[in-house]
């Protein structure tokens, strides 16, 4: 039997956001990450996309993306039409949160900006996510994850390849952490404040400013001391051999993060490099120390080193490939994987809700399907009559 994400085995009682309704106008990126988090905390998320004929510029995510739309209710409305906007206003009248990810100024031109909607619904939490914020000289720039990481200094402080180029990150850090978690945290704080004051809020979520928050150790260091953090600036950016990655005999890698002296001493002893135990942060010793560490790790396969070193307080872990994760004993023991069922793609595995306090389903969850919307049912529940809903479909304003 397919069960909903709310059928939790890990938590008693209702989910934290049970009873909260979110209208989501985003399709991909930070906004979609944020509402994924809110839905997994129990919010009802009404995912509003454009009808197919009106969505030429919108990216349609793969069926498995964003947790396969589990727990979302899918609608398609043409917000450029008067009928589509009226339908959206009916949804907002009964919602707690609206989230949009348009370019700055677009929502206002459509007649669904925060000034208008918050005036009509003072309890509404209206969240705008954008790359650079709603104002300022860069606010109109187009961009994606790499651009925000670059702008806020993240790429510059990261390790360089052989040509000296900043690296391409292996995950969408700006979208997920600096944007999605940033937006979700801000929405939760606004809902908490509303419970005390009775009033909603407008949230201007800048992904770039979220990256700055992630970069605060280095930005604040520069502001306070004038230092210029970059690759090799300190222990966290590759200055020392105790915090690096090393290739093993089978071509795979381990990550070493032995920052504290105790862990470093354990590491040196375990890999046969005790000559370096007392010179951990000696800058002159780093090239030779790194060469000795590299030679030591090259003598055995990765998993042999992990089996030996990880239990010995050495801060060593495997650099896992994504394909290795489903069999990783730690992740299996923590039950981080779940199952989903899609009407067209069948059963498949996916990550379960992972943030602390998010309930997990006992069985497979129902995935969303962009081809099958709940538009009519949701609009009827919002107060539109059957004739008006039929007219919207006839006009191509809904689907």
**CATH number of the domain enclosing 144:** 3.40.50.10540
Which DSSP state fits 327?
G
Arithmetic mean of pLDDT over the chain: 94
CA distances from 148 to 77, 86, 143 (A): 30, 35, 7
Q: Are 76 and 49 in contact (CB under 8 A)?
A: yes
Q: Which residue has the higher pLDDT, 8 or 165?
A: 165
Average of per-residue pLDDT across 60-78: 93
Given a cut of 60, whether residue 57 has pLDDT beyond it is: no
- Percent of residues in the chain assigned helix, strand, coil, to nearest 5: 40, 15, 45
Q: Quick one: 77 and 149 in the same domain?
A: yes
The position carrying tokens 């006009």 is: 395
User: Distance between CA atoms of 108 and 120, rounded to whole angstroms?
Assistant: 14
Share of the chain above pLDDT 70, in %: 95
Residue 16 lies in a domain: no
pLDDT at 6: 39
Contacts of 122 (CB under 8 A, 6+ apart): 198, 199, 200
Residue 223 lies in a domain: no
Average of per-residue pLDDT across 241-259: 98
Q: Tally helices (H) and strands (E) across the chain.
A: 17, 12
Sheet containing 365-366: give its strands across: 346-351, 337-342, 365-366
Q: Are 355 and 37 in contact (CB under 8 A)?
A: yes
User: Distance between CA atoms of 262 and 97, rounded to whole angstroms?
Assistant: 49
What is the DSSP annotation of 86-102?
A: HHHHHHHHT-SEEEE-P
Strand-pairing partners, residue 269, are none
Given a cut of 80, whether residue 225 has pLDDT beyond it is: yes
Given a cut of 50, whether residue 142 has pLDDT beyond it is: yes
Q: Quick one: 156 and 120 in the same domain?
A: yes
Task: Show which of 318, 346, 366 is a domain's final residue.
Answer: 318
User: Distance between CA atoms of 22 and 221, rounded to whole angstroms?
Assistant: 38
Which DSSP state fits 348?
E
What confidence category does residue 56 fall into, taking pLDDT thresholds of 50, 70 and 90?
low
Given a cut of 70, whether residue 75 has pLDDT beyond it is: yes
Q: Quick one: 206 and 340 in the same domain?
A: yes
In 10 A of CB 90, how many CB atoms?
17
Nearest 10 degrees: Cα torsion 377, 109, 43, 186: 180
Average of per-residue pLDDT across 174-192: 98
pLDDT at 54: 59
Nearest to 24 by CA among 58, 48, 8, 6: 48
Q: Which residue has the higher pLDDT, 54 or 173?
A: 173
The position carrying tokens 């030779």 is: 288
Residue 180 lies in a domain: yes
Q: Quick one: 155 and 304 in the same domain?
A: no
Q: Quick one: 47 and 182 in the same domain?
A: yes
CATH of the domain at 268: 3.30.1540.10
At 185-217, the pLDDT tens digits run 999 999 999 999 999 999 999 999 999 999 999
pLDDT at 5: 40
Q: Which residue has the higher pLDDT, 383 or 53?
A: 383
Q: Are 59 and 124 in contact (CB under 8 A)?
A: no
Q: Quick one: 201 and 269 in the same domain?
A: no
Cα atoms found within 13 Å of the Cα of residue 269, Cβ hemisphere only: 9
Share of the chain above pLDDT 90, in %: 90
Residue 134 lies in a domain: yes
User: Distance between CA atoms of 109 and 273, rounded to whole angstroms?
Assistant: 65
45 three-class SS: strand
Q: Quick one: 105 and 177 in the same domain?
A: yes
Please give the residue range of the domain that contains residue 242.
235-247+253-318
In 10 A of CB 29, how many CB atoms?
23
Q: Quick one: 289 and 181 in the same domain?
A: no
Residue 227 lies in a domain: no
Q: Quick one: 176 and 241 in the same domain?
A: no
pLDDT at 120: 95
What confidence category does residue 53 fall into, taking pLDDT thresholds of 50, 70 and 90?
confident
Sign of the Cα torsion 216, 219, 224, 227 reads: positive
Q: Quick one: 170 and 276 in the same domain?
A: no
pLDDT at 66: 92
Q: Are 52 and 21 in contact (CB under 8 A)?
A: no
Given a cut of 90, whether residue 58 has pLDDT beyond it is: no
What confidence category does residue 52 fall into, taking pLDDT thresholds of 50, 70 and 90?
confident
Task: Show which of 268, 284, 318 is a domain's final residue.
Answer: 318
Strand-pairing partners, residue 48, are 75
Domain count, the chain: 2
Residue 228 lies in a domain: no
Residue 9 lies in a domain: no
At 337-391, the pLDDT tens digits run 999 999 999 999 999 999 999 999 888 999 998 888 999 999 999 999 999 999 9
Q: Quick one: 208 and 240 in the same domain?
A: no
Residues with a catalytic annotation lie at: 144, 175
Q: Quick one: 63 and 98 in the same domain?
A: yes
Q: Where are the alpha helices (DSSP H) in 72-136?
A: 82-93, 106-110, 114-120
Task: Show which of 318, 344, 365 is a domain's final residue.
Answer: 318
Given a cut of 90, whether residue 160 has pLDDT beyond it is: no
Residue 79 lies in a domain: yes
């Amino acid at each position: 039997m397919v069960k909903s994400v709310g059928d939790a085995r890990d938590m008693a009682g209702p989910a934290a956001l049970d009873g909260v309704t979110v209208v989501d106008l985003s399709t991909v990126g930070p906004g979609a990450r944020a509402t994924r988090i809110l839905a997994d905390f129990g919010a009802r998320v009404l995912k509003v996309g454009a009808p197919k004929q009106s969505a030429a510029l919108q990216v349609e995510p793969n069926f498995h993306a964003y947790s396969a739309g589990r727990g979302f209710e899918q609608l398609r409305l043409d917000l450029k039409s008067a009928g589509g906007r009226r339908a959206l206003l009916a949804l907002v009248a009964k919602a707690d949160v609206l989230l949009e990810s348009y370019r700055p100024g677009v929502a206002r031109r459509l007649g669904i900006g925060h000034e208008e909607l918050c005036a009509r619904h003072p309890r509404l939490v209206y969240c705008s996510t954008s790359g650079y914020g709603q104002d300022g000289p860069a606010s109109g720039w187009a961009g994606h994850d790499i651009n925000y990481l670059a702008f806020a200094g993240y790429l510059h402080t990261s390790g360089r390849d052989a040509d000296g180029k900043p690296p391409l990150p292996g995950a969408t850090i700006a979208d997920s952490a600096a944007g999605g978690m940033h937006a979700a945290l801000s929405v939760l704080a606004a809902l908490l404040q509303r419970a005390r004051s009775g009033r909603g809020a407008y949230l201007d979520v800048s992904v770039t400013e979220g990256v700055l928050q992630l970069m605060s150790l280095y930005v604040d260091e520069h502001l306070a001391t004038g230092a210029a953090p970059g690759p090799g600036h300190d222990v966290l950016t590759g200055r020392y051999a105790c915090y690096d990655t090393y290739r093993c005999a089978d071509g795979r890698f381990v990550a070493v993060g032995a920052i504290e002296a105790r862990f470093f001493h354990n590491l040196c002893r375990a890999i046969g490099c005790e000559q370096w135990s007392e010179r951990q942060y000696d800058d002159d010793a780093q090239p030779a120390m790194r060469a000795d560490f590299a030679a030591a790790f090259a003598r055995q396969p990765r998993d042999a080193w992990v089996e030996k070193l990880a239990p010995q307080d050495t801060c060593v872990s495997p650099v896992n490939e994504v394909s290795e994760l489903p069999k990783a004993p730690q992740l299996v023991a923590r039950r981080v994987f779940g199952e989903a069922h899609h009407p067209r793609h069948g059963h498949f595995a996916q990550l379960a809700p992972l943030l602390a306090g998010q309930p997990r389903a006992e069985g497979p969850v129902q995935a969303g399907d962009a081809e099958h919307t709940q538009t009519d049912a949701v609009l009827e529940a919002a107060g539109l009559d059957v004739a008006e809903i039929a007219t919207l479909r006839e006009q191509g304003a809904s689907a």
